[in-house]
Structure 1
Amino acid sequence: MVTAALVAALRLPATVTVVGLAMFGILHNVLELRYVSGRFDAILTGRFLALLLALVTGIVLCRLLPMFWWSRGAEILLGYLVLAAACGWGLRRRPLLLGAALTALGLATAGSLAFPAYHFVFLSHLHNVVPLFFLWEWARDLRTGRTAFRVTQAAWVLVIPALILAGAFDPWLGGDQDGAAAAFAGGGDRLLAAYTPPAWLDTAFALRLLVVFAFLQTMHYVVWVWFMPRHGRPATERFERRASALRGHRAWLLGIAGTALLAVLFVSDYAGGKTLYGAIASYHAYLEFPVLLALLAGAGSVTGADGAVEREET
């Protein structure tokens, strides 16, 4: 799968990016939320979950109202408030670390507000790296092969993109072959700008970053649409006990129905479809970070392979 995803991203990066989003965007949102909500139900619960949902809903509204000058700045502030809430929850018994974390978030917020274009490019790529953390955490249940599994995941998430950015695969780049997909998405420059810092738009890194995004996005979908549904069944079972209306194949049907509706919108109005998708995707994208921060803080309970709740302490 890694080889196929890499070859496709190298030869047809725009097509892989655009078609992949249309085919798997909504479906992977649903399945990822199902896994994360089940696996980390001890974190995503009660008032903490209510606070996160309120903040992310604010981000959704910002994304649905992109024409207002304040919407991007408001989304940045709300995003950092999500992180601050996660730090407050995970480090509530460690005041010194909490103070340091909030100070760092304050500095990062100032930087993001000063350079919003860089913030959103970074966020787009970071989202595709996040599966590494969930795969790493999932592997803690393995009795054998844990190290090999983790090294393999780190290789495709970190090493292959680094090689792409270094130009190791430049002889195989075929970015000019899928101009139709780029034009469909509003033009090649617009597509590159979504995943490239402004200072690098006129450099070789622009196409390389698009290839990195296309490759990692494809593997991102592999993780959430194929791997986790097959190997994260205890998490699915815990989720279904919380949301009985989505038992069995109902979550899949919801994701497939959403995909079909979004595909129709993409064909008729790609820009409008991308805006709507970006708003919907806010929930799964922003809820990842509180879980990761809580785990890093050692404050999270997760479900083991046998369904038992285990607590991590750092």
Structure 2
Amino acid sequence: MTTAALPVGRTAGGALPLAGFGTAAGLALVTALRAPAGLAVLGLATFGILHNVLELRYVSGRFERILTGRFLALLLLLISGIVLCRLLPPAPGPRAAEILLTYGVLATACLYSLRPRPLLLAAATTVLVGAASVSLEFPAYHFVVLTHLHNLVPLLFLWEWSRALPRGRTVFLAVQCAWVLAIPALLLSGALDGWFAAGTATTDRLATAYTPPAWLHTSAGLRFVAVFAFLQTMHYVVWIWFLPRYAPDAAAAFDRRVPLLRGPRAWLLGCAVGAALAVLFATDYAQGKALYAAVASYHAYLEFPVLLMLVLGMAPGGSAVERTSRAAR
């Protein structure tokens, strides 16, 4: 990793980035307690598109030997179907189709990574079929879980990336687990309820998207909105600040792969499209949110097969990936 070239104290395991995570988590937590709806809405309008672009840059650069050939083409085809479902008027049909396409994305990852191990492939297929049946039976729960799961996945990317740290990995991972797991658990437990500001009509509307239906009309609604606002903010910290700064090798790989967006051009693209969408958010929030949800499908759904393949034993490089890459072409 090129982070070793940074001055001592500025490497990813050093004091400065850890202090950055701690400061960001503290500010995000205070704001999530006092103004969760504002943090969620303004954060999405301001940083949503930019973090989409930078996350896609990292994932496609870091995992360039996984995301290639026919495998990548099939993933993009399935995710484009999800985008179409999200552009259609909300209805049971498009929601069911999106669920099936979601599991199609996961099944594709299992097929390409477990093809040499048919027993494991059969077991994974059985699990996916069972999970898909549950999701189709309880679609509202499916989308709430998916929404929060997306904000948790940076921990897995940071865990995988941190393997190259020459020192300080344990402390680094402890800090990540603190904001990804411990603080949300604290919020959901009710331990911080006394610090919450009073709920608003906007908070109540957001709660329908971020709260399991069985708890929607309880005090848990405000807690889930706060958890979402906090994790979304930290999600942006990872993709907009930390990984662009401390994983330049992934950006360099992306530049080789997509020279049209090399260097600052990716940032300019994210800022320009984000500014245009922010105008739509300001004039028609519902329309802006629907359009963002559709566009964001590419970055949100592309990360899941990559993470699944890592869990199944794949790596950013190496013989296993080379075999998959060759088979995908």
Cα shift at 1:96: 1.2
Q: Summarize the alignment of residues 19-58 of structure 1 with structure 2, pairs less than 5 Å apart.
A: 19-58=42-81
What are the residue-to-residue correspondences of 1:50-69 with 2, within 5 Å? 50-69=73-92
- The equivalent residue for 1:203 is 218
What's the CA shift for 1:159? 0.8
Over 3 Å counting, the alpha-carbon distance change for 1:310 and 1:169 in structure 2 is farther
1:104-161 per-position Cα deviation (integer Å, ceiling 9, x unaligned): 1101101100110000000000000000000001100101011111111011101111
How many angstroms apart in 2 are the aligned matches of 1:175 and 1:134? 35
Q: Select which of 288, 303, 310 maps to 1:295.
A: 310
Aligned residue number for residue 116 of structure 2 = 93
Alpha-carbon distance in structure 2 between the residues aligned to 1:21 and 1:188: 15
Distance in structure 1 (CA, Å) of the matches to 2:79 and 2:212: 25
Measured in 2, the distance between the counterparts of 1:86 and 1:248 equals 30
Unpaired segments ≥5 residues, structure 1: 303-308
* 2:139 alignment partner in structure 1: 116
Q: CA deviation at 1:91?
A: 1.2
Q: What do residues 27-86 of structure 1 show as CA deviations (whole Å, max 9, x unaligned)?
A: 000000000000000110000000000000000000000344410000000000000001
Q: In the alignment, is the contact (CA less than 8 A) between 1:22 and 1:259 conserved in 2? A: yes
Q: Is the 8 A contact 2:203 2:222 kept in 1?
A: no
Identity of aligned residues (%): 64
Aligned residues: 299
CA RMSD of the aligned region, Å? 1.5
| Contact residue 13 and residue 175 of structure 1 kept, 8 A | no
Hey, what does 2:246 align to over in structure 1?
231
**1:190 CA displacement:** 2.1
Q: Aligned AA for 1:133?
A: L
Q: TM-score, normalised by structure 2?
A: 0.88
Amino acid in structure 2 at the alignment position of 1:138: W
Q: Distance in 1 between matches of 2:121 and 2:176?
A: 30
Distance in 1 (CA, whole Å) between partners of 2:297 and 2:263 is 25
Does 2:295 align with 1:280? yes
- Displaced runs of 4+ in structure 1, greater than 4 A? 309-312
**Distance in 1 of aligned mates of 2:231 and 2:204:** 20
TM-score, reference length from structure 1: 0.92
Query: Using the alignment, how far apart are the partners of 1:207 and 1:50 within structure 2?
Result: 40
Q: Match for 1:60: what amino acid?
A: V
* Residue of structure 2 aligned with 1:6, choices 13, 17, 29: 29
SS at the partner of 1:70?
Answer: helix
Q: 1:244 offset after TM fit, Å?
A: 0.2
Runs of 5+ consecutive residues of structure 2 not aligned to the other structure: 1-23, 322-329
Matches within 5 A, 1:179-194: 179=200, 187-194=202-209
